[in-house]
Structure 1
Amino acid sequence: MQNFQFLHVLRPILHYGLHFIAPGLLAYLFFRDRWKKAWLIMAATIAVDADHLLARPVFDPNRCSVGFHPLHSYYAIGVYILLLFFPKTRVVAVGLLFHMFTDLQDCLWL
């Protein structure tokens, strides 16, 4: 029972830490010359979660976002991968793909 409570608390900490702290590390590693701007852009990709507003209920802790919401669909992920090939959209693409990875790891907790 103690482990379950610990995991129940750890899940959102890990999820939101990956959404906001990990992009800072990625920005520093891959976009060092402009890491602060890259971090802000990658953190701003949280706006992709606006598609959750189309679901009923809007928030369901037991629902996997990846493959369910339109901007979390496999088609959208394909577009995000294509964005990697263009220098002007690369930071956004990394942020969006890392967002999908974060949401996917959250699905594994279910």
Structure 2
Amino acid sequence: MLQTIFHYSFHFLLPGAIAWFFFRRNWKIAWLIMIATMLVDLDHLLASPIFKPNRCSINFHLLHTYPAIVGYGVLFCFKKTRVVAVGLLLHMVTDGLDCLWMR
């Protein structure tokens, strides 16, 4: 239960806090963009079974692989894609914490 609370807090509330502190001028838009990056989880639909409670997403699903994460890091280097990159990287950190929690 506690893991679920942390997981969804990190997916919804933490992006809001990051948007507020670092993108204050347009924090609502930044927050919505970061929430929209959860569409990266559509790659779970390619897995069989689609949902497995104890499966680590990192380096299993296509958009959660290490090369993809490096690509998200590259996106961070450009101002126009920085908010998207922050959302994607935060998503990967959150899923990585889940992997650690499951051990």
TM-score bucket (shorter structure): over 0.9
Runs of 4+ aligned structure 1 residues displaced above 3 Å come to none
Shift of 1:36: 0.4
Q: Larger relative CO (CA 8 A, sep 6+): 1 or 2?
A: 2
Hey, what's the Cα distance between the residues in 2 that align with 1:106 and 1:45?
Answer: 18
Give the structure 2 partner of residue 96 of structure 1. 88
Amino acid at match of 2:47: A
Q: Please, what TM-score do these two structures have when normalized by structure 1?
A: 0.91
Q: CA deviation at 1:102?
A: 0.2
Q: Which has the larger radius of gyration?
A: 1
Q: In the alignment, does 2:66 pair up with 1:74?
A: yes
Within the candidate set 26, 29, 34, 1:42 is matched to 34
Aligned length, in residue pairs = 102
| Residue 66 (structure 2) pairs with residue 106 (structure 1) | no
- Separation of aligned partners in 1, 2:12 and 2:63: 19
Gaps of 5+ in 1: 1-8
Consecutive unaligned residues of structure 2, counting only runs of 5 or more, are none
